[in-house]
Structure 1
Amino acid sequence: MNTVELAAALDAAALAGRALPGDGSGPRDTDDAYAVQAALLARRLARGERLTGFKLGFTSLAKMRQMGVRDLIHGRLTDRMEIPDGGILDVSRLIHPRVEPEVAFLLGDTLLPGGDPMAAVAAVAPALEVIDSRYDGFRFSLPEVIADNTSASGYAVGPWSAPGELGNLGVLVELDGRLAETGSTAAILGHPVRALAAAARLAGSLAPGTVVLAGAATAAVPLPPGTHVRAEVAGLGTVRFTTTTPEEHP
């Protein structure tokens, strides 16, 4: 399939909640993959979605080694992916969602490569990202996951606060009040600010008002319907949402 056909297939898979086989028939290299990602996003913007953010993937050095890559990957966030803090996420159309805790940056000025990336930051917050690969069983090649907008599906952001120290803050995720994962912001490239600098390098520039998700601070956790999810980042606060049950969406 060509770029347009691959974008259409990924878009249709997301809309229908049906997975594609991760069989290596997708894009062959990262340049082609980002072209597919751009075409996929163009389809969504044409339906009325609006870009709101930028997200990073493979910010864990261990994950980079596992995937055999030397750089981060990135995707885009839109307004229809936003989950209100304390709100409801309809998972009836998702394929096999997972959730992971992150640090979010809100840009107050244009973020450009070079210099101090925190100079462009207006506020920081705890965040949760929902990932849901459009490939069967979360099995995919590196170009396939890039084309699939890095499995991005949704995100929730907690209360914004003034930027402070972000290195090595404790992180936890709870499902229905039970501890599911613990970690540290140090898992994000050693320090989340390094991820922000990488976002500037990869994007070229990001406009004021953009939300930047720095990458996962723990392993992703499967997200079944009817689940209350809560994440806490020490010093930043908490963020939470609840997924719907099948009965609520027959």
Structure 2
Amino acid sequence: MNLAERLDEACRTARPIAQPTESFDPYEVQRELIDLRLKRGERLTGVKLGFTSEAKRAQMGVHDLILGRLTDAMAVQEGGTLDTARFIHPRVEPEVAYLVGVGGTVAAVAPAVEVIDSRYENFRFSLESVIADNTSGAAYVLGPWQPYDPARWNLGVLFRAGGAVQYGSTGAILGDPRRAVAEAARLAGGPLEEGWVVLAGAATAAEPLRPGMHVTAEIQHLGSVALRSI
């Protein structure tokens, strides 16, 4: 099997794989990986950004963002239940989500929680291998869409995951999360489709997701979003 096929199998079976040793084009592998999912009947619903924190980029020794793809199979109903047995070593993080409108504009904004889950052993990867692995994308849940007010971008965040509590700010996302849609279009190589979701990046550090947890993200002026794990 090639790398895309190995990553796809790891995702479907919740069994991690070793770091790849062959040379590869990371975004080409990601495209092949997503194509496998689309052939099984999934459809694209948007994109997600990674390394949106300057501190995280410095930690990883990179100088640009990375892009992943979202599909309908990754979407979880707000307030719904997520089976952790689907994943290898899942983690959760609070995000801002944007709804793409006509001509790549922002039509609405919502609080969101993303589930990340590297398909590599021990959650360890290189920049190239995490891009190939669709930037560790696993699942996401959206809160209610709200009218987009571009003046409200530096908002307080309260994130609870089981007993862990974190406080943050959406200003940590790209220094200004309003940049997310333009940056996503740049990395995607063209305008984003109307109706797509853009996950702008994490507003706090990620927390491990274990069975029996109640996860909530509250964002100032935007409301809250929740999920439970089993």
Kindly provide the CA deviation profile for residues 129-174 of structure 1, in whole angstroms up to 9, marking residues without a partner as x: 0000001111001000000000000000001010113322111211
Q: Is the 8 A contact 1:55 1:75 kept in 2?
A: yes
- Measured after TM superposition, the shift of residue 26 of structure 1 is 5.1
Aligned to 2:3: 6
Q: How does 1:83-232 map to 2 (within 5 A)?
A: 83-111=76-104, 120-164=105-149, 165-176=151-162, 178-203=163-188, 204-232=190-218
- The answer to whether the 8 A contact 1:172-1:179 is kept is no
For 1:117, the equivalent position in structure 2 comes to none
Cα distance in 2 between the residues matched to 1:225 and 1:27: 37
Matched AA of 1:13:
A
SS, match of residue 35 in structure 1? helix
TM-score normalised according to structure 2 size: 0.96
What is the CA distance between 1:109 and its match in structure 2? 1.1
1:74 aligns with 2:70: no
Where structure 1 has 5 or more consecutive residues not aligned to the other structure, the ranges are 112-119, 245-250
Distance 2:81 2:114 in 1: 14
Match among 25, 31, 37 for residue 21 of structure 2: 25
Which amino acid counterpart does residue 207 of structure 1 have in structure 2? Answer: E
**Matches of 2:103 and 2:117, distance apart in 1:** 30
C-alpha separation between the residues in 2 aligned to 1:161 and 1:195?
17
- The alignment partner of 1:206 has SS state of coil
Give 2:124's aligned amino acid: R
Tell me the distance in 1 between the aligned counterparts of 2:127 and 2:74.
23
- Aligned partner of 1:52 among 45, 55, 58: 45
Could you give the per-residue CA deviations for residues 107-128 of structure 1, whole angstroms, max 9, x where no partner exists? 12132xxxxxxxx111100000
Aligned length: 228
Contact 1:166 1:191 in 2 (8 A): no
CA contact (8 A) 1:169 1:184 kept: yes
TM-score, with length taken from structure 1: 0.88
